[in-house]
Chains A and B, each alone.
Chain A
Amino acid sequence: MIYYYKINCLPKNLKLIREFTTSALRNMPLSDIEINQLVLAVDEICTNLMVHAHHYNPDEFIEVSISQFPEAIQFEIIDRNITDFDISQYKFLGMTKIIQEKRKGGLGLLLVHKIMDKVELKQENSQNTWRLLKTLPQK
């Protein structure tokens, strides 16, 4: 089963993406806490894209697809934008430094990495695909 959602880049649409993701995950064997974590991880990527890559431009879109496999749930978030962001260079600043410098940002990608088992960013021409994988516990 694949759940698919395409939406334009507006602040109010972040809540709609959360509702779509929650609704899809309700069909899977997950607790409310697990669903909330996964919704948050998808929300963080979508927020980063809408804010930093698309500057909330309503003429631009992002796509979210959720696929359930026997061993895992895969989330793909796709946008079209030329970016030089290199996920392999991502380094968390450290909580102590963030607190000392009174920073408000820098926690989103850390949360995504802590929640998901695998985080990849594939860049091809102007299409960027974030692929997030969450392994399901085997019974």
Chain B
Amino acid sequence: MQIKEYTEKNIHTIEIIGDLDASSAIQLDKAFEDALLKGQKKILIDCKNLMYIASAGLGVFVSHIESFKEQNINCILYNMSDKVKNIFQILGLDSLLMIVKDREAALHSIQ
């Protein structure tokens, strides 16, 4: 798995490429931790190339929900495939995290 990151107009984007499983979840966790340390308040997660997610990957998102609330951070996931979204839905995480269709919708929601 690879993580690509860039910041543009105070919006930090994290792109996840590949499979987010037990052996790669730590990379996403580090990306979140770094973004929080830098004081990022608007975080977008591009899931276009997220091919697979296991519980370890879901756990990274779940473990940060409270920090996002505490630090008033807006985090939005977009470009998610139906099969990956389905895994979020199984645990009801689609109602705890904002998941939108594409980057345009994500940018609109995060403003």
Contacts and interface: CB of A to CB of B under 8 A. Distances in A.
B2 to A, nearest CB: 14
A18 B63 contact: no
Contacts of B102: none
A107 B91 CA distance: 9
A115 B86 CA distance: 11
A95 B61 CA distance: 12
Say whether chain A's binding surface is mostly helix, strand, loop, or mixed. Answer: helix
A104 B29 contact: yes
B86 A15 contact: no
B54 A102 contact: no
Interface residues of A, number: 30
Interface in B78-111: 82-84, 86-87, 90-92, 96
B10 interface: no
A91 to B, nearest CB: 16
Contacts of B21: 14-15, 43, 47
A93 to B, nearest CB: 11
Given A37-B86, A37-B87, A98-B62, A11 B23 contact: yes
B22 interface: yes
B3 interface: no
Interface string B39-58: 00000000000001011101
Contact of B92 (A33, A40, A47, A95): A95
B80 to A, nearest CB: 13
Contacts of B64: 102
B40 to A, nearest CB: 18
Interface centre among A51, A98, A104, A108 (most CB of B within 10 A): A104
Contact of B91 (A43, A102, A105, A111): A111
Contacts of B73: none
5 contacts: A12-B23, A14-B22, A102-B67, A107-B59, A111-B87
Interface of B: 19, 21-23, 25, 29, 52, 54-56, 58-60, 62-67, 82-84, 86-87, 90-92, 96
